[in-house]
Amino acid sequence: MESQLPAEFIVNIDHERCRKCKRCVMNCSFSAIEFKDKVTANNRQCVACHRCATFCPENAITIIHNPLDYKDGYNWSPEIRKNILKQAESGGIILTGMGNPKPYPIYWDHMLIDACQVTNPSIDPLREPMELRTYLGAKPEYLEFEGNNDVSLKTELAPQVKLDIPIVFAAMSYGAISLNAHKALAIAAKRMGTLMNTGEGGLHEDLAGYTDRIIVQVASGRFGVTSKYLNSSALVEIKIGQGAKPGIGGHLPGEKVGEDISKTRMIPVGTDALSPAPHHDIYSIEDLSQLIYAIKETTDYKKPVSVKIAAVHNVAAIASGIVRAGADIVMIDGFRGGTGAAPMIIRDHVGIPIELALAAVDDRLRQEGIRNRASILVGGSIRQSADVVKAIALGADACVIGTASLIAMGCRVCQKCYTGNCAWGIATQKPELVRRLNPEVGADRLCNLLTAWGHEIQEVLGSLGINAIESLRGSRERLRGVGLSQETLDILGIKHAGIGQ
């Protein structure tokens, strides 16, 4: 049956300008453009990924929303009606990609940062050192020294991982994204002194030279997990949950599992790679503790172990349990975090905002006097350096960026990652599309982004009159809320703008 759904976008081709070079036809990976004597759009297929428009040498292509109006109805919005039509035609769950696009409050945009005037001078980051270095890992409550005159350190610290900038790349598996995207992330992580994360898809052998800058993930599917894999890393992360789809597993369709992915994931070619919703050996916190220590044993206590969870209602108590279970790092992924594929109902309706989750976790760990025992990483829609500054002021040790790093590599957030047709060579395994992403060029763009954000963070530190990132970490006194309820302010642990010290 022909779909009754109208096209979402209209592709306009200016035939006056078009030279019929067909570059757009070659570039469109969604079959939205054909050549029939002239360039012709198949509007229904267009996802607004901008590939054609970007590469048209004559700037002859524009893409607009289909101006088809719906009969007014605030409650029965066009999107709701379209979803019903889709399901009436298919009988299936609506799949989607990327992060939650719904207009839930974005608390980052309701927090403002302090600055120095007169009594505490601001510091010029171009003249003075402005330190962003951060170490991830468990810290003891205090240090012990020995000796009287020639003092030496008695305490042995748990393993620490150095970050030159408190921003790491998020877990995105080889399978969800291409090998070239993985390579770009690894090269950039090494160059910038930060980390990339394999996600749950195992570690491709081409990344062997970057292992000291790689977080290797152990998820419920245990793809590619071997003792060698665990030891080829800066740190190991146990993935319990993901912000975009808390409480559910993952599914990499068999058509994406080619030779290379099969080898990396250690599954037969062409089979679906299913990650169960829970780890089937973790049904409670004591099981998690066993896995943490199994990994620590395997890595000879030389790698910090991180546990990643989605931000859900009871996140503070869960995080506290994770720290007590022996994790060196807790990674919290907010409900706006991205995904390669998730049911729309989960992505758009499950979980809580990272800002509130972070504040609650940091508070809870401090109340229990165990904040030092784990670093806190947060992700789930860190969009700009200002979000990083605010997250660190709320109490994070460092931030995790997924979508932002993909955008830097060319992603247009068209939310079609799950189709495998990514025109930018990122979320696809088709060789002809993958080769569109040059790992070196991708890495340069990622480095540029981190360099720019690093400078911006330094500017803010300077204006705050501090010259080390640890003086911002957890310093909520330097944040003020605007337009937030008292309850929200209390959860965030900040005062409303207009209130002094």
Partner 1 sequence: MKSDGIPSGCAISGLMSEDGRRIGGKVIIRSIACMHDRSNGLGGGFAAYGIYPKRKDMYAFHMMFDNIQAKENTEEFFKDHFNVDKDEAIPTQRQNGISNPPILWRYFLEVPENKLEFLSERDYVTKTVMKIHSEIDGAFVASSGMNMGAFKGVGYPEDIGSFYKLEDYSAYIWTSHGRFPTNTPGWWGGAHPFTLLDWSVVHNGEISSYGINKRYLEMFGYKLELRTDTEVIAYMFDLLVRKHKLPIEKAVEALAAPFWKDIDRMEPQKKKMAIALRQVYGSTLLNGPFSIIIGHNRGMIGLNDRIKLRPMTAARKDDMLYMASEESAIREIAPDLDEVWSPMAGTPVFGTLKAGVE
145 touches partner 1 (CB under 8 A): yes
Nearest CB to partner 1, comparing residues 53 and 365:
365
Q: How far is the CB of 455 from partner 1 (least distance, A)?
A: 17
Applying the rule CB under 8 A, the residues between 339 and 378 that interact with partner 1 are 366, 369, 371-372
Nearest CB to partner 1, comparing residues 145 and 301:
145
The SS3 of residue 60 is: coil
Applying the rule CB under 8 A, the residues between 151 and 180 that interact with partner 1 are 151-153, 155, 157, 160
10 Å CB burial of residue 180 (0-12, 13-18, 19+) is buried
Separation CA 342–CA 322 (nearest Å): 26
Per-residue burial over 30-51, b if 16 or more Cβ lie within 10 Å, else e, is bebbeeeeebebebebbbbbeb
Separation CA 28–CA 13 (nearest Å): 14
462 touches partner 1 (CB under 8 A): no
Which residues lie below 8 Å from residue 104, measured CB to CB, with a gap of 6+? 335, 336, 353
Nearest CB to partner 1, comparing residues 92 and 369:
369
From 136-144, 193-201, 329-337, 483-491, span contacting partner 1 (CB under 8 A) = 136-144
Nearest CB to partner 1, comparing residues 149 and 486:
149
The SS3 of residue 449 is: helix
From 141-149, 204-212, 234-242, 308-316, span contacting partner 1 (CB under 8 A) = 141-149
474 touches partner 1 (CB under 8 A): yes
459 touches partner 1 (CB under 8 A): no
User: Considering only CA atoms, which of 152, 53, 103, 50 is closest in space to residue 407?
Assistant: 50
Strand pairing class (152-153; 145-146): antiparallel
Q: How far is the CB of 334 from partner 1 (least distance, A)?
A: 22
Number of neighbouring beta carbons within 10 Å of residue 153: 11
Count of residues that bind partner 1 according to CB under 8 A: 45
- From residue 345, give the alpha-carbon distance in Å to each of 75, 93, 96, 109: 17, 8, 9, 25
User: Which residue of 83, 262, 419, 467 would you call a contact of partner 1, by CB under 8 A?
Assistant: 467
475 touches partner 1 (CB under 8 A): yes
Q: How far is the CB of 133 from partner 1 (least distance, A)?
A: 5
Residue type, 88: A
User: Considering only CA atoms, which of 321, 394, 379 is closest in space to residue 199?
Assistant: 379
Q: 402 with 340: CB under 8 angstroms? A: no
390 touches partner 1 (CB under 8 A): no
Binding residues for partner 1 (CB under 8 A): 116, 118-121, 123, 128-129, 131, 133, 135, 137, 139-140, 142-145, 151-153, 155, 157, 160, 366, 369, 371-372, 393, 464-468, 470-478, 500-501
